[in-house]
Amino acid sequence: MKKEQLMLLLTKQIADELRCQPDEIDRHEGFQHMGLDSINSILLLDFIEKQTSVELNPMDLADHPNISSLVDFIFSQINPKGDAG
């Protein structure tokens, strides 16, 4: 999977969790600011694992708190050696 592809999937999933449209989601806006809380995160983390096989924990979302940095982090877990992307 390419980063851009995962970015789109996550945007759609988060929009779905927040009951809004994907084009209302800003990739650089903080999750907390968007209104994504620890309850919404449960399914988001599960979705990420199903899509990428990367198992994240709830603290990873807090440490990488927007779509853009989260996707970078997921890719660093898929390919720890490189892919500065």
Partner 1 sequence: MLDKGPYWQPLQESNFADPYPMYQALRENDPVHKAQTGEWVVTRFLDVTEVLRDKRFLAGHRQTWLERGVDHLKNRGMDFQAIIEAMSTFILNMNPPEHTRVRQFISEAWVNRELEATVRNNVNALLENIAESEFDIVERYSTMLPTRTACDILGINVASHQEMKELGSAMIKALDPYTTLKDFVRINKASKDFIEFFTQQVHHKISNPENDLISSLIARNEELDGKLTTSELVSICIFMFVAGEETTASLIGTSIFNLLQNPSQLALAKSGGVNMSIVLSELLRFDSPVHLIGRMADADMELAGKAISKGEIVTLCLASANRDESMFENADRLDFNREQKRHLAFGYGIHYCLGDWLAKLQAQIALEEVLRKFPNLSLSDQKIEWRPMLAVRGLKRLVVRAND
Contacting residues toward partner 1, per CB under 8 A: 32, 38-40, 42-43, 45-46, 57-59, 62-63, 65
**Least distance from partner 1 to the Cβ atom of residue 35, Å:** 13
**Least distance from partner 1 to the Cβ atom of residue 70, Å:** 13
C-beta neighbour count of 2 within 10 angstroms: 9
**Least distance from partner 1 to the Cβ atom of residue 4, Å:** 26
Q: Where are the alpha helices (DSSP H) in the chain?
A: 3-17, 31-34, 38-52, 58-63, 67-78
Taking CB atoms within 8 Å and a gap of at least 24, the contacts of 47-51 are 47/9, 47/10, 47/13, 48/10, 48/74, 51/1, 51/6, 51/9
- In the bound state with partner 1, the residue whose beta carbon lies nearer, of 57 and 85, is 57
- In the bound state with partner 1, the residue whose beta carbon lies nearer, of 8 and 45, is 45
- In the bound state with partner 1, the residue whose beta carbon lies nearer, of 3 and 29, is 29
